[in-house]
Every structure is written in structure tokens, then in C-alpha cells.
Amino acid sequence: MDDASRIRETDENAPAPPETAPAERSPPPGVARVLASQRSAGNAAVSRWLLARDSPPTAAPSAAPNAAPPVPRVSYVFLMGDVKNDSFYLAAHEYFKNMVKGAIVVTDKRTLADVIEHVNAGGKPVDTLFIVSHANESGNLGFSVDAADLAKDKAGGDHKPRTEFGEVKEANATGSLPQADVKLIDAQTKVQIKGCNIGRSELMLDALDQAFGGEASVTAPTHTQEYRFYGKKGGAVAYEENLNELFVEESGVASKSAGDLAAAFKAKYPMVPEGDWKGLLKKVKKENRTKALWTHKQANPPDNDAKSVFARLKIAEKFPKAQGWVPTYKGRTDTGGTWQYDVEVERVLKDGSTEFKTLFITAQIPPTEAELLDQEKAKHGRPDAYKWRVQRTVTGNELKLEVIAEATEWVIEGTIKDASGPYHPAQTAKDWYRTSTFAPPPPPPPTP
């Protein structure tokens, strides 16, 4: 992933408590409390996940006489980070271990390829496949695509593993990922990505859907998630999965008055009691999500005019007018990836003869702004959420072209609540969860 991507911590990425989960309560005196939280920099959104145990069982088709009984389905929980030293993964581990009974919890996988290979090797059809990971709203996840990508991530940048939309898109196109067994990850499988805000990138959800074979559905929250567990020493422990962070976002570098901002939050989150807004609005933090996503450097080509070309060739110095030299710019030619600039200089000597020279310089043709913008938008998980521009800087004879994506976000951190306590919307609520829509292409028609 690019260095501009930030992944903040906030207890986020675990299965949601049941619809009838009790309202959040303050722990009694002396209670030890662990709160892990993840938040994606520059992009936030929250969604609650329905657990597999909350879903009604799928009726098995009636078996033919003497048919082998169906293979029982399994559920997996892949915790894609350090469950000992990262508070988010620690709390998520406790939540899944205690609240999603029967699921196979896997803690040692660090790439998307690892997940696919592990499920393939298990050989059993999957009910729910939970992937718990740091993430952000641009579609970036806190693990790598495969072993080669993991080595690259550790060697450069901030040395943290990341998977971007563009990387999964490329892996799907080249077939570099292990092929998911669609007899195991099939139309009944629910892939749930427990990663902050990543549900806002529907492009990433579709890319992951394709990576998992294209038969299952992939769902993710649009807001930050949090995991908590607390209780008395030696007594019962409570485990929670909640949503965190109210947010308002806008493409570009934007500003809002206090009144407009209050109206925007209230319109987006009508379930928040009116009496809570006074305190909540005091906690608003504005964040500039502007990122430089790509930098192109090269020698700066001269402009297509005599003045610029003569200056680059130092015509005035090498062929001074006082010596009778007359320069003529003959124009610029595209020779395939480079420009050639042609100049002729001549002068009349004392004997009446003419001295004549032909000069030229070549320069790499820089990419156009449109080409750079199209290149970066094609790799981004949420291109429509940003305003895009190319910043051009010339230093001496060096040209630098930077692709800039700009957005603004206003965030209110804290567990999202309605009048009854932590707010747990249904997984079908699109403002809180998004589900992939990828459909594999139909098989080719049979050969006549």
C-alpha cells in the first residue's frame, strides 16, 4: 500500500452482537476493562455484522435414498494481526472465541493467499468466513496479498502489511492468487470482512468476491467497529461488538459552518437522541484526507517554441549573433515516446560562402494529466469520494508531476448509540453495511 494510507486503531472488526443485545452498561467499580479500537485514517464508516449464529439455518435439500449425508459446514475466523500485542486483535480474539461458538479461529495467517489456501486445505464447505483486519475507507486492508507482497510491504514504506484495491484487482486479472475452491466457498458462504470502514469501498468488496471465486457474498461495515470485554476478576466477563465514530465526509478540501455541520450529522444519524447532540458536536474533529498518491519525475522538456529550445541549446552562447549566426527553429517531432526538437543555424562567411549546422535535442514525453489521473483512479478503491488533480513542479530542468486526491471528513469518536444504548443496525441497512455485487461471467457456450 502507499505510504499515504493510514490505519488508525479502534476496536473494530468482529461479529456483531445479536439484535437483542442489551444496551451498553458502565462496568461496576473495580472492573477491569479492555477496549480495543481501530480507525482508518482519512475515511470512516461503521456497520454491524450479523453473526452466523444469528442467521436462520439453511434447510438442507432432501437426500435421495442411500445418498451420502451432506458434509457439515464450518465457519472460520481469521485474525490477520498480532493477538498478543495489538489491542484491537486481542479484544476481537476474545470476542470471537467466546461469542461465536464452534467457529475455527485462525491467528497465524497474514495474507489473502494464506486464507484461500487454508480454506481449500480444510476441504469442508464454509458457512461464514470472518476476516478480522485493520482497514480503511479507501479499500485498504491491514494484511498483504501474498508472500511476495508481504516481503515487499515489510521492506519499504512504513513496513506494515497492506492490501489495496488495485493489488487485488491486478491479482485477479493475472491469476496470481490461489484459486478458491467454489465447492467450499459457494453461494451459501457469507464472507464478512471485519475491518473499519472498508464497506465504503464497493470496488474492494467486488474484488474480494472475485478472489474468493465469485460465488459467495462479501459484506463489510461502512463505519468503525469496536470490540470490548470486561468483568470482575474471577467472575463473568461481558463481550461486546459495537460501532464507533459518527462521520460526515465531502470530496475536496471543504469547510462547513457549525450550523451546517450540526444539520449534516443530525440528518445522517436520526436515531441519535436530540439531547445527546450538544455534547457530541463538541467532540467533532475535522480531518484533511488529502493524499499524494503518485509522483512522476523526469527531465523537463522545453516548450514547443524557439525561445525555450534556443535557451536549452544555449544558442546565444554557442552561436552568438555578433558572429553572424542566425538560428531557425524547425519544430518538434514525436518519435515515439520522445520529442525531437530541430534547430538550424547558419551564417555568411567573409568569402561569401555559407556555414550551416543542424542541431537537435530529444526529451522524454511526459504523461498527460488525464493519463495520470486515469491511472491512479483505476487503482483506487473509492475514486468518486475524492477530488483529483495533478500538481506540476519544475525545479531547474526537473519536472515533477504529483497526483493528488482530496477529501475532507468530520468525525465524532465514541460508541454509536441510540436511546437504548449501542446502536446495532441490521446488516441489510446499506448506510451501515455494503455487500458485493460481483457476478462471475457465464461459462462459454458448448463447442458445436
Reported as a single tens digit per residue, the pLDDT across 322-363 is: 999 999 999 999 999 999 999 999 999 999 999 999 999 999
The pTM score is 0.81
What pLDDT shows up at residue 440? 85
Return the minimum-mean-pLDDT range out of 58-72, 195-209, 233-247, 326-340.
Answer: 58-72
Helix 202-211, helix 165-174: angle, nearest 10 = 30
Q: Is the predicted pLDDT of residue 38 greater than 50, yes or no?
A: no
Strands 217-221 and 433-435: antiparallel
CA distances from 438 to 26, 200, 204, 215, 347 (A): 42, 15, 10, 9, 70
What pLDDT shows up at residue 442? 84
Q: How far apart are CA 194 and CA 77, in angstroms?
A: 10
Q: How far apart are CA 110 and CA 119, in angstroms?
A: 14
- Residue 402 forms beta bridges with which residues? 295, 391
Write a three-state SS string for 393-439: EEECCEEEEEEEEEEEEEEEEEECEECCEECCCCCCCCCCEEECCCC
Q: pLDDT digits over 10-23, tens only?
A: 333 333 333 333 33
The helix, strand and coil proportions of the chain, stated in percent and rounded to the nearest 5, come to 25, 30, 45
Q: Position 255: which residue type?
A: S
Return the minimum-mean-pLDDT range out of 94-98, 183-187, 219-223, 225-229.
Answer: 225-229
Q: How far apart are CA 226 and CA 294, in angstroms?
A: 32
- Spell out the long-range contacts of 270-278 with Cβ–Cβ below 8 A and sequence spacing 24 or more: 271/418, 271/419, 271/423, 272/246, 272/416, 272/417, 272/418, 273/418, 273/419, 276/417
Return the minimum-mean-pLDDT range out of 46-50, 93-97, 399-403.
Answer: 46-50
Do residues 55 and 188 make contact, with C-beta atoms less than 8 angstroms apart? no
CA distances from 140 to 68, 165, 248, 326, 398 (A): 43, 7, 20, 59, 32
Give the chain's largest Cα–Cα span: 113
